[in-house]
Chains A and B, each alone.
Chain A
Amino acid sequence: MIELRDVAYSYGGGELFSGLSLALAPGSFHFLTGPSGAGKTTLLKLCYGDLVPTSGEVALWGEPTTGMARDGLALNRRRIGVVHQDCQFLDHLPLGDNVALPLTVAGRHHEAAAYLPDLLAWVGLTRHVDRRPPELSGGERQRAALARAVIMSPEVIIADEPTGNIDWEMSQRLLALLVELNRMGKAVLIATHDLNLIRSAKAQVAVRTLRLKDRQLLAAGADL
């Protein structure tokens, strides 16, 4: 589904990483760890085509993102649910509309009524459906971002520190949702510093943990 082959990425200053390869297959569950600044968020952005590699190739469903038409990229993004680290929302819209946004832009807004109530109940935001994102706490925004990421039932779910602002109980609930989706055949890739989250996931599903360090992507040790 998503494949990175010998990928390198450089910012203006220097090379962030190089020779990096990764394949997200249906039903796979990956955690991505590593020190701050190692390039985890950049790697995730490469995976959903928000960035293109400076060398190597990123392919979404077999099609390289380099040179991909913007409309083609948009259609591929509908197959990927993304939880961003900074939980970007449309601040002028109520929470319900924000969560349903992927359906709206795909011309399927009429389906929102079928999914939205259960999804908001699941992430505990039912009573906030009419509130606007700036009125929500960090944890509430993170839960809303996860709900938005999964409302289209995407084939791949990519999350950047999804439990960074929520308590243990809620993080376990979110993990349970991701595990459930993974069991349905969705590929999951989560960047996190939360080792407890990784251990909890390992107890429920086959997980592969990767560590991005010193510009290389390595399999993490058995302690994870």
Chain B
Amino acid sequence: MKRAIWTALSLLAGDAQADRSVPPTGFTARLTLFTAAAMALLAVFALSLSLAAGRLAVRWSDELAQTSTLRISAPAEQMAAQTAAALEVLRTTPGIASARALTEEEEQALLTPWFGPDLPLDALPIPRLIEIEAEGRGYDATGLRARLQAEVPGAVLDDHTRWREPLVAAAGKLRGLGALAIVLIGASTAAMITLAAQSALSANAQVIRVLRLVGARDAYIARAFVRRFTLRALSGAAAGTFIGAILVALLPGGVQDGGSVLTGIGFSGAEWLWLPLIPPLAAAVAFAATRGAARRMLERQS
């Protein structure tokens, strides 16, 4: 660790004379800067997507896990008795914070989108719905179903499991895809910078030859290239991250109002602290890629 910090510091401090030994190469400089900026921009988007998917998974999971619905289908003359019995069962079930039968107006509001506002609820065998809110670690759904079957035969408990699981799984996969995208972006950055470094090393074969003939060690030659590419990646990624952060901040919708996976893309609170990590990570990738390329190239040219 100490050695890695020392290497990073000496790399940043640099050696002006060693740097001058290698001529600036415009094409590879521009390629590295552009690649680092573009990849950092994409990393910001992938990160925001991944974080948004993660937030959504947690929210869906939490919201759906804390609520459930009891549906009571019974003849009209038994409806009130069964509803009261069900409420009593729910009241005495551990893990349930509250249970409330929806009013006729609320049921009407639920059905209005499908049947219009003039639906005669009195004339239709509409089941009675009871909204349940769980507390703490929730209730024992299997035990509750058994009790309801015995005491309220017309009651069907829907604990949202069949809704929740695919949604949470989908959000989790979306978060995984975001993480995979970040890994691929890192790998692509490494590949592009390796190519740029190899191009620069090949273009400077004569420089390397002269340096070797006057007694330069491989580390000296490699350092001049590695430092240059690392700093270019750092500055390119810083620019890309900055632009990406602005674009994400300007996206419509917002994190605060929840939103969907699309309108919720962005960073919330401490999540913004992920962004300053992108340029140093890009620099680390460039450092490793260039050092590997330089070592291989110097080995070949010996």
Residues of A participating in the B interface, judged by any CB pair closer than 8 Å: 48, 50, 70-71, 74-75, 77-78, 82, 84, 88-93, 97, 101-102, 104-106, 109, 148, 152
Contact = CB atoms under 8 A, between A and B. Distances in A.
Interface residues of B, number: 21
Given A101-B210, A105-B215, A105-B217, 7 more contacts: A70-B298, A74-B216, A88-B206, A97-B20, A102-B214, A105-B21, A109-B17
A93 B20 CA distance: 8
B212 A74 contact: yes
B160 to A, nearest CB: 67
Nearest to B23: A92
Nearest to A148: B214
Nearest to B207: A90
B213 interface: yes
B59 interface: no
Interface in B242-259: none
B18 A104 contact: yes
A92 B21 CA distance: 8
B214 A101 contact: yes
Nearest to B206: A88
Nearest to A88: B210
Interface in B195-228: 206-207, 209-220
Nearest to A152: B215
A145 B262 CA distance: 66
Contact of B220 (A84, A97, A105, A148): A105
B21 A104 contact: yes
A78 B220 CA distance: 14
Contacts of B220: 105
B130 to A, nearest CB: 80
B78 interface: no
B13 to A, nearest CB: 14
Contacts of A106: 215
B142 interface: no
Contacts of B212: 74, 77
Q: Which secondary structure characterizes the binding site on chain B?
A: helix
Contacts of B219: 71
Q: Pick the most buried of B18, B21, B210, B219: most chain A CB atoms within 10 A of its CB.
A: B210
Interface string B34-55: 0000000000000000000000
Given A70-B302, A105-B21, A75 B207 contact: no
A102 to B, nearest CB: 4
Contacts of B216: 74, 105
A70 B215 contact: no
B167 to A, nearest CB: 59
A48 B212 CA distance: 11
A152 B216 CA distance: 13
A150 B101 CA distance: 99
A24 to B, nearest CB: 18
B215 A78 contact: yes
- Closest 6 CB pairs between A and B? A78-B215, A105-B216, A92-B23, A77-B215, A102-B214, A74-B217
B18 A89 contact: no
Contacts of B210: 88-90, 101
Given A90-B21, A104-B17, A104-B18, A71 B218 contact: yes
Query: Chain B CB within 10 Å — which of A48, A84, A93 has the most?
Result: A93
Contacts of B211: 90, 101, 105
B231 to A, nearest CB: 19
A200 to B, nearest CB: 28
A193 B219 CA distance: 38
A78 B214 CA distance: 6
A75 B215 contact: yes
Interface in B169-192: none
A63 to B, nearest CB: 15
Nearest to A100: B17
A82 B20 contact: no
A101 B21 contact: yes
Nearest to A45: B213
B298 A102 contact: no
A70 to B, nearest CB: 5
Nearest to A98: B210
A109 B15 CA distance: 11
A148 B215 CA distance: 12
A82 B213 contact: yes
Contacts of A89: 210
